[in-house]
Structures are given as C-alpha cells and as structure tokens.
Chains A and B, each alone.
Chain A
C-alpha cells in the first residue's frame, strides 16, 4: 500500500526558529513535493524534487528551502520561521515512470497526513 509519512502531525515554533519538516515515502517514487494548504487558497506548491539532490521552485518558494539527500526522504526547511508561515504543510510523492503503456498514471500524487505548524 502507498505510504507517505510526515514526521510530525503538530508543531509549535517561535518566530525566528529554524524548522525542519521531514517526509518519507516507501514507494520508490522519483518525484516528491511540498505544499502548504490555507483556507480559501487551496494547495500551493512550495518546492518539488524529481531526483536525489535535484529541486525546483514551486509557486511560493520564498522563505523555504528543501533537501533531498536520499530518494525516499524530502525535507522542508524554514530558515527563520515567521508567523505568516503558520499553515498546514503537505508532502506528496509520485511515480515518474509509471507502469507500462502510454497511459500509465505517472502524475498521480500520494499525500501524507500533513503537519500543522504554528509559529508564535
């Protein structure tokens, strides 16, 4: 069964702290994603990685960085947390190659349970 695990369900941090959010997937997926989810704004892509040590900025990368040293693990880093980064953070992964055939669903993403981060 598909499994994406986020290390914390709830986190409370102080303004200015460095925050690490960890995500691990056990599906051998090439792609991994970090989103933040806010009421009325839906899911917004922060960063994306399509291979180990490779990353691409999403729609809202400012104030965040990422690290992917191993295929199964993708970390989101808030260098200096601010109150406007209080949000629900979601990690997802997808299979780049898919199964056989032209219509293999290679863009289907599988999500973790989320980390609700509060920055005080």
Chain B
C-alpha cells in the first residue's frame, strides 16, 4: 500500500533562518506531488505542484521554493524565514496513472516562526 511521510511534525524557527521540510511517498511511482499551506482560519493554499523529477510549478510567488530531487521526494525550502511563513504545511500526492483519484495527505508540519 502507498504511504506518505512528512517531517518534522512541529518546528519552531527564528526569523531569518533557513527551512527544509521533507516529504516522501512509498509504494507508488511517478506520483504527482503537492505542497499546501494552511494558515489559521483559512483554507489550503496550493504552493507548489510537481509532475516529475525537477519539474516544479509555483502557484504563489513568495519566500518559499520547492525541489524534487528524486521521484518520490518533495522538499519545501526557504533561505530566510519571515513571520508570515508561519502555518501548517501539508504535503500530498496523487496517483498519476488514474484520473479519478483523490489527493492523499501527510500528517502535516506546524511551523512557527518567532
């Protein structure tokens, strides 16, 4: 069966520090991968989307970047965190071989920038 792992679960970082959140998927190949941010009281905002290694689409220009160095690995990064980067970050994947499948989500990372 397929599983998605996202870590760390919680992170407290000072303003101006770098960020690296990692997400890996097991049990499938060539997944579509997504990074979302959920701010307090708001919905899920699509940040990045990837259909393959090195292929990243950015939805919202901001202080973050994403990379996909391996087929089932998706990394969210920042060189210098801002207070506004605080939020709940979710990684998700979708099976690229089937049209009617949903997105499956990781457990999320709660990021607090202080």
Query: Are A and B a genuine interacting pair, yes or no?
Result: no
